[in-house]
């Protein structure tokens, strides 16, 4: 077997690598996992050790009008924001990939800037921009703000999907008589769809997690889940927050699984399987 052929040094270094990788993994994931058991803890204090099991805090969340409104707001803002971000981000990515023009690098940098500019600066900027237009404290304003924050993620995922898109396919479709819109709809979009969908999921997650612009721009009745959690932690540290957190983590994991599943499925579709 292969293992027996390995030298001692090789085996030791492999072991060290495995240990190191595990430590990194724990470092990344432990803070998130730490919160989950507490949501089932039968105690009003957010401390270990656990005091028996309860679903009380979940019950609290579902019964609370405050949380119900927050969930509703999160989706009311997140879904349209993700939709707008996806449409705009996809078009931008296609434009950037197909066209070759002066200043393309600058346009790309500007499009991606919300990823690197501190969110508080974006939020303050949005506030000053929206205030005279009467867009603060409106759903429209919040949706637009979140769409702007989510669009760069769509640009990135669609661009990477387009990087492996063979432009000859578009040419072939045109030579076969397909007008540009048909080429986009029947050839380009189906092939970059996994990128579009994962971009949309990312954009939704961005909006779903975002608290800073909500703090600055939202009216009291427009509080989203993270905004409500933020409040909850400042005022009354109540374990129902951990229940909300647990549900958010679960949702995030589900989204990631979907993205990964799409990626794998797409790769399998493309891979040439010669019989």
Q: For 2-61, what is the HEC assignment?
A: HHHHCCHHHHHHHHHHHHHHHHHHHHHHHHHHHHHHHCCECCCCCCCCCCCECCHHHHHH
List the structure tokens of 3. 């293992």
Contact between 57 and 239 under an 8 Å Cβ cutoff? The reply is yes
Residue nearer to another protein on the CB measure, 234 or 271: 271
Start-to-end Cα distance in the chain: 29
Q: Under rule CB under 8 A, which residues in 3-42 are in contact with another protein?
A: none
**C-alpha torsion sign, points 232, 236, 240, 245:** positive
Q: Which one-letter DSSP state was computed for residue 222?
A: G
Asked if 171 is part of the footprint of another protein (rule: CB under 8 A), the reply reads yes
Among 12, 66, 180, 261, binds another protein (CB under 8 A): 180
Residue nearer to another protein on the CB measure, 119 or 172: 172
Asked if 98 is part of the footprint of another protein (rule: CB under 8 A), the reply reads no
List the structure tokens of 104. 């393309």
Among 174, 215, 252, 256, binds another protein (CB under 8 A): 174
# residues near another protein by CB under 8 A: 26
Asked if 272 is part of the footprint of another protein (rule: CB under 8 A), the reply reads yes
Asked if 99 is part of the footprint of another protein (rule: CB under 8 A), the reply reads no
| Residue for token pair 């393309």 | 104
Q: Compose the 188-227 pattern: x for residues touching another protein by CB under 8 A, - for all others.
A: --xx------------------------------------
**Part in contact with another protein (CB under 8 A); list of ranges 27-35, 39-47, 163-171, 229-237:** 163-171
Task: Provide the binding-site residues for another protein, judged by CB under 8 A.
Answer: 166, 168-169, 171-180, 182-183, 186-187, 190-191, 269-275
């Amino acid at each position: 077997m292969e293992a027996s052929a390995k030298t001692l040094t090789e085996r030791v270094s492999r072991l060290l690598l495995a240990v190191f990788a595990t430590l990194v993994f724990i470092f990344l994931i432990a803070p998130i996992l730490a919160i989950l058991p507490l949501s089932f803890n039968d105690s009003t204090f957010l401390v270990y050790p656990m005091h028996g099991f309860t679903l009380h805090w979940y019950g609290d969340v579902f019964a609370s009008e405050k949380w119900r409104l927050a969930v509703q707001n999160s989706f009311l803002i997140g879904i349209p924001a993700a939709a707008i971000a996806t449409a705009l981000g996809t078009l931008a990515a296609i434009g950037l990939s197909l066209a070759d023009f002066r200043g393309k690098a600058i346009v790309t940098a500007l499009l991606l800037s919300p990823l690197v500019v501190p969110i508080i600066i974006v939020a303050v900027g949005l506030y000053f921009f929206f205030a005279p237009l009467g867009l603060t404290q409106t759903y429209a304003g919040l949706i637009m703000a979140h769409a702007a924050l989510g669009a760069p993620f769509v640009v990135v995922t669609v661009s990477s999907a387009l990087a492996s898109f063979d432009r000859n396919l578009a040419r072939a479709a045109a030579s076969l008589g397909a007008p540009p819109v048909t080429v986009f709809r029947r050839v380009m979009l189906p092939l970059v769809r996994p990128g579009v969908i994962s971009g949309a999921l990312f954009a939704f997650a961005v909006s779903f997690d975002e608290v800073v612009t909500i703090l600055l721009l939202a009216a009291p009745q427009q509080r989203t889940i993270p905004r409500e959690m933020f409040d909850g932690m400042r005022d009354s540290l109540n374990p129902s927050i951990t229940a909300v957190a647990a549900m958010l983590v679960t949702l995030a994991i589900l989204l990631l699984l979907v993205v990964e599943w799409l990626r794998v499925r797409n790769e399998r579709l493309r891979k040439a399987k010669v019989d």
